Structure 1
Amino acid sequence: MQKIILLALFATLAACAARSNVKLADPQATKLAPHVGQVCMLRSPLPEGVKHKVLGNINSSKQTYGSVNELLPLMAADARAIGADTVINLNTSQKMGAWAWARPVGTGVAVKLEDKGSFNCASSGGELR
């Protein structure tokens, strides 16, 4: 009986962890190679004239209480996994959930810049992760 209770407890705790997923813009497109570099997390669109390709939408959440800062590393990892170097239109907030009055959620658009050298993340108001 103790083993069943412990298993149920671990399953419940695992369901509460922060998670993130990507919906590709074009699932039929050629996949880009993942990378290990930094990703620019930008709360706004890219500045005018910065050429880019939209790779997908990233959604992240946690089922229990927590900070939106828990989601940012997960979202950056998802962007790296699909070859993106920037997440634009980043939006993080707290929403009411079944297990928490305020749970962190986040969304953003993963993009690949055509010329990384022409874009400065910090001067555009972004944060490298």
Structure 2
Amino acid sequence: MRTIILLALCGTLAACAARSTVKLSDPQATKLTAHSGQVCMLRSPLPANVKHKVLGNINSSKQTYGSVNELLPLMAADARAIGADTLINLNTGQKMGMWAWARPVGTGVAVKVEDQGFSCASAGGELR
């Protein structure tokens, strides 16, 4: 009986952890190589003159209370895993949930910037 209660408790706690998912724009497209570099987190779209390729959408959330800062490293890791170097239209906030009045959520579009002259800092982004 203790084992069952312990497993149920562990399962409940694991479900409360922050998580992030990726939905690829074109699952049939050639996959880019994952990298370990920094990802530019940009709350706005890229400037119109910056060439880029959209790779997918990233959604992140936590089922319990917490800060959106818990989600940003997960979102950056997902972007790296699909070969993206920039996350645009980053939107984070708190949302009402089943287990919390205010749980952190985040969305963004993962892109690969093809313009070598692009500067994350100049565009108002933050490197993660």
Identity percentage of aligned residues:
85
Paired letter, 2:8:
A
Aligned residue number for residue 23 of structure 1: 23
In the comparison of the two structures, how many residue pairs are matched? 128
State the 1:3 CA deviation.
Answer: 1.0
Query: How big is the alpha-carbon RMSD for the aligned residues of Structure 1 and Structure 2?
Result: 0.6
Runs of 4 or more consecutive aligned structure 1 residues displaced over 6 Å after TM superposition: none
Paired letter, 2:112:
K
- Using structure 2 for the length normalisation, give the TM-score: 0.98
> What is the distance in 1 between the residues matched to 2:113 and 2:121?
15
Structure 1 residues 88-126: Cα deviation after superposition (integer angstroms, max 9, x where no partner): 0000000000000000000000000112x3111112110
Aligned residue number for residue 64 of structure 2: 64
> What is the distance in 1 between the residues matched to 2:86 and 2:69?
17
Aligned residue number for residue 10 of structure 2: 10
> What is the distance in 2 between the residues matched to 1:64 and 1:43?
24
In structure 2, the gaps of 5 or more residues are none
> What is the distance in 1 between the residues matched to 2:57 and 2:107?
7
Structure 1 residues 9-60: Cα deviation after superposition (integer angstroms, max 9, x where no partner): 0000000000000000000000000000000000000012000000000000
State the 1:127 CA deviation.
Answer: 0.5
In structure 1, the gaps of 5 or more residues are none
- Using structure 1 for the length normalisation, give the TM-score: 0.98
> What is the distance in 2 between the residues matched to 1:123 and 1:16?
36
> What is the distance in 2 between the residues matched to 1:120 and 1:114?
12
> What is the distance in 2 between the residues matched to 1:118 and 1:11?
47
Structure with the bigger percentage of helix: 1
